[in-house]
Chain A
Amino acid sequence: MTLARLILREIRHRKTNFALSVLGAVIAVAVVLATLGSLRAYDRQTEAVVDQMEEATKSEMAKLEDEIRKSMKGLGFNLFIFPAGQDMGEVYSEGFASKTMPEAYVTKLAESGVVTVNHLLPSLTKKLEWPEQKRTVILIGVRGEVPIAFRKPKAPIIDPVAPGELVLGYELHRSLGLEKGDPVTFMGKNFKVSDTYEARGSKDDITLWMNLGECQAMLGMQEKINAIQALECNCATVDRLGEIRTELMEILPDTQIIETQSTALARAEARNQASATAKAQIEAKKEQRALLRAEREKLAGWLLPVVALVSMIWIGLLAFINVRERLPEIGILRAIGVKGRTILGAFLGRAILAGLVGGIIGAVIAEFVRLPSMDSGLIIETGEWIAAISAAPVLAALAAWLPSLAAAQRDPAEVLRYD
């Protein structure tokens, strides 16, 4: 005969009391684990939602960026740097400047470490008569984009025109019947048509593009340019132009800068806007979910102790009933010399067993809980499983402590005297 045998036989005999004690532990452990598990599942869900939103924003931004890059090719630049003395009235009426500045400015700018502008494109423009054709044309000498020294050289946005070649605007090649590859004479010099442009409905249609060096030599304006086109960087601040001016004036004090509206800029701004909106949306989502989580946490904060306490009271009450039912048994055991602490062990052992069995069943139930608001199950960490399953018998023993102690200290004479 052992204490364990006594405990097990008694449990088999009074199944209902034991089953109800187990139920108390089952409910407590299942509720505690389900609450913790759903809080974590909620956090995971939040992470997933935010990740998904961030991913979507990133790809949306990349798409916009790509669109802008493509559109820039055709849409040109939005900053013009002119010599300081250039009359802007002339620029607006003629479409180009007549005053010149050294071509070295562009190199200086490119090597300065400038941050507010991109894609520097120097040009020399002059309205003149095409002597061979007896018609007014705009001649623009261009060279390729001047790479900004400290940035990675990117693919040039505007193709340079090679020496000995000309690019013709729509009106010119159409009226002269010239096509790509045709020879053509300009100011007594032979060129080859390297490209012809579609109609743009602007001065471009009567423009003739030439290699910058060749153009300078032809016009006797060596090392001179009269404009640098640039694209402002996509650093959206309120006083964009102010910032650019401040920076450029330090590098090239002898110039002036104007900004023109361009679709590229509008798109860049739209992109910045979209990015800001998306970020705000993600923040709002995070905030909303954090708020909901805090609410749930608050609920858990009182629910868990209450559930633990109620099931402890429940288990304590059942232990008390069990002790009451077993008074004659306790009396005889004490009479035949069974020690008080063995009696205590019999009752505590029973409670511990109830807690352990209930803890395991409760944990298994928690494992299979699916909440309607979540697509996943509960997310419960190993430590929590272990803590819940090991806390249940300890708390059950605490709950049954007082009734068990009363049983152990019961005076056997009380029970046996009235025989």
Chain B
Amino acid sequence: MSQSTNTALDEASADTEIRPPVLSISEVAKQYRTTEGTVQAIDHVSLSLEPGDFVALHGPSGCGKSTLLLMAGALLSPDSGTIAISGENPYALGAEARAAFRANRVGFVFQQFHLIPFLDVLDNVLVGELAGTLPHGEFRERARELLDRFQLGHRLHHVPSKLSIGEQQRVALARAFLRSPSLILADEPTGNLDAENAAIILEHLGDFAASGEGAVLMVTHDDRAKAVAGRSVEMRGGRLV
């Protein structure tokens, strides 16, 4: 976390003894305008995640899950409504400040992993260092620790193409955890995985939520995943049902 937000948080908790929600989405709407017309991707959605929450978001394809996740992750600004992460609205910040905000608050996991093909496992986890704000080398120990925890300690210098897909998703998970974010956003993280590997990923996400460090919002079609999550919300046509 950056020092300024830390201080703000400390003061808030000292004054009130209440931690703000990790993610607070209220009355958020989003339209896509295309040449064929406008699509109401998100239609006045409200959702709140407290520390320790593990929420599964499911619904048919095209109902707006990914759009909601991107907005929750400070990557896509809503047309209306407000989004706050740990009490702070990222869309009030400029582009560069919002990037730093993302680096320190949010971790992403995607179905396609999005590992960088020419970097080895350790470097793929450490790309978060490129976001700056802390001196280089700060995260090395943490990266090794995470990779050990994810049973990748022996593969530090292998490139992604040499790994199994389960291992690749664990590298992506380690990358998401590197800077100790309070919010993990996962878009069908087990969509490409077999049952065994899916279980490992879900276990680690569950552990993170259970530790109380933050919250997890996971898009999934997987019933086992829904079972692991503490709460399950369904979306249809851009609305929560």
> Do A419 and B131 form a contact, CB below 8 Å, given A2-B136, A335-B73, A337-B103?
no
Q: Which residues of A contact B82 (CB under 8 A)?
A: none
Residues in A with CB closer than 8 Å to B110 are 332, 416, 419
Given B101, B136, B179, which contacts A1 in the complex, CB threshold below 8 Å?
Answer: B136
How many interface residues does chain B have, given as a range? 35 or more
- What are the residues of chain B within 8 A of A10 when measuring CB–CB? 118
* Interface residue stretch chosen among B14-22, B52-60, B92-100, B224-232: B92-100
Check if B37 is an interface residue, CB within 8 A of chain A: no
Q: Are B96 and A333 in contact (CB under 8 A)?
A: no
Supposing A5-B123, A13-B118, A336-B103 touch, asked if A413 and B131 sit within 8 A by C-beta, the answer is no
B196 vs chain A, min Cβ distance (A): 22
Closest residue on chain A to residue B75 by CB atoms: A413
Minimal beta-carbon separation of A13 from chain B (angstroms): 3
Say yes or no: is A9 at the interface (Cβ < 8 Å to chain B).
yes
One of A334, A412, A419 near B111 (C-beta < 8 A): A419
Contact yes or no, B175 A336, CB < 8 A: yes
Encoded as 1 (CB less than 8 Å from any B CB) or 0, chain A from 325 to 340 comes to 0001101111111111
Chain A residues within an 8 Å CB radius of B103: 336-338
Instruction: Specify which chain A residues have a CB less than 8 angstroms from the CB of B106 in the assembled complex.
Output: 337
28 contacts between A and B (CB under 8 A): A1-B126, A5-B123, A6-B130, A9-B119, A12-B118, A13-B117, A328-B114, A333-B116, A335-B73, A335-B75, A336-B102, A336-B107, A336-B108, A336-B127, A336-B175, A336-B176, A337-B104, A339-B131, A340-B99, A342-B131, A416-B110, A416-B114, A417-B66, A417-B67, A417-B76, A418-B66, A419-B66, A419-B110
Instruction: Tell me, rounded to whole Å, the shortest Cβ–Cβ distance linking B171 to chain A.
Output: 12
Residues of B contacting A9 with CB < 8 Å?
A: 118-119, 123
Residues of A close to B131: CB separation below 8 A: 336-339, 342
> What residues make up the interface of A, taking CB atoms closer than 8 Å to B?
1-3, 5-6, 9-10, 12-14, 328-329, 331-342, 412-413, 416-419
With contact pairs A5-B123, A419-B66, A419-B111 given, residues A335 and B102 touching in the complex (Cβ less than 8 Å): yes
When distances are taken between beta carbons in the complex, the residues of chain A under 8 Å from B107 are: 336
**How many Å lie between the Cα of A340 and that of B187 in the bound state?**
24
Which residues on the B side are within 8 Å of A418 (C-beta)? 66
Bound-complex Cα distance A345 to B132 (A): 13
B82 to chain A, nearest CB (A): 18
**Contact between A337 and B117 (Cβ–Cβ < 8 Å)?**
no
Measuring CB to CB, which residues of chain B are less than 8 angstroms from any residue of chain A? 66-67, 70, 73, 75-76, 95-96, 99-104, 106-108, 110-112, 114, 116-119, 123, 126-132, 136, 175-176, 179, 187-188
A340, B102: Cα distance in complex, Å = 13
Are B187 and A419 in contact (CB-based, < 8 A)?
yes
User: In the complex the two chains form, is B130's CB within 8 Å of A342's CB?
Assistant: yes
Do B75 and A333 touch (CB < 8 A)? Answer: no
Q: Give Cα A194–Cα B108 distance, bound, in whole angstroms.
A: 125
Given contacts A1-B126, A332-B114, A416-B75, contact A337 B70 (CB under 8 A): no
Measured between beta carbons, the chain B residues less than 8 angstroms from A337 are 99-104, 106, 128, 131, 179
Least Cβ distance of A9 to chain B in Å? 5
* A321 CB, nearest partner CB in chain B, Å: 16
CA distance A12 to B118 in the complex (A): 8
Residues of chain B lying within 8 A (CB to CB) of residue A3:
130
Partner among A2, A5, A412, A419 whose Cβ is within 8 Å of the Cβ of B188: A419
Could you say which residues of chain A place their CB within 8 Å of the CB of B132? 339, 342
A1 engages B99 (CB within 8 Å): no
How far, in angstroms, from A9 to B132 measured CA to CA in the complex? 19
Q: Chain A contacts of B136 at CB under 8 A?
A: 1-2
Whether B123 lies near A332 (C-beta < 8 A) is no
Specify which of A1, A5, A14, A412 is in contact with B75 (CB 8 Å cutoff).
A412
Is B99 touching A419 in the complex (CB atoms < 8 A)? no
Q: How far is the CA of A328 from the CA of B118 in the complex (A)?
A: 13
A338 in contact with B127 given A6-B119, A417-B67, A419-B112 (CB within 8 Å): yes
CA A419 to CA B186, docked complex, whole Å: 11
Given contacts A337-B100, A341-B96, contact A332 B116 (CB under 8 A): yes
Distance (Å) between the CB of A183 and the closest chain B CB?
Answer: 118
Residue of B with least CB distance to A3: B130
The answer for the CA separation of A336 and B112 in the assembled complex, in Å, is 15
Among the listed B99, B104, B123, which residue makes an inter-chain contact with A338, where contact means beta carbons less than 8 Å apart? Answer: B99
Residues in A neighbouring B112, C-beta threshold 8 A: 328, 419
User: Chain A residues with Cβ under 8 A from B101's Cβ?
Assistant: 337
Chain A residues closer than 8 Å to B187, beta-carbon distance: 416, 419
Q: Which residue of B lies closest to A345 (CB)?
A: B130
**A-B contact sample (15 more), CB < 8 A, given A2-B136, A335-B108, A413-B76:** A6-B119, A6-B127, A9-B118, A14-B118, A328-B114, A335-B73, A336-B102, A336-B103, A337-B128, A338-B127, A412-B75, A413-B75, A416-B66, A418-B66, A419-B112
Contact of A334 among B66, B99, B119, B176 (CB under 8 A): B99
Which residues of chain B come closer than 8 Å to A331, judged between CB atoms?
A: 114
CA distance A329 to B110 in the complex (A): 13
**CA A268 – CA B99 in complex, angstroms?**
93
Evaluate contact between B70 and A339: CB separation under 8 angstroms: no
Neighbouring A residues of B179 by C-beta, 8 Å: 337
* List of A residues within 8 angstroms of B76 by Cβ: 413, 417
Query: Residue on A with the closest CB to B100?
Result: A337
How far does the alpha carbon of A416 sit from the alpha carbon of B179 in the complex, in Å?
A: 20
Q: Is the CB of B119 within 8 A of A338?
A: no
In the complex, what residue of chain A is closest to B67 when comparing beta carbons?
A417
Q: In the complex, A351→B119 CA distance in Å? A: 20
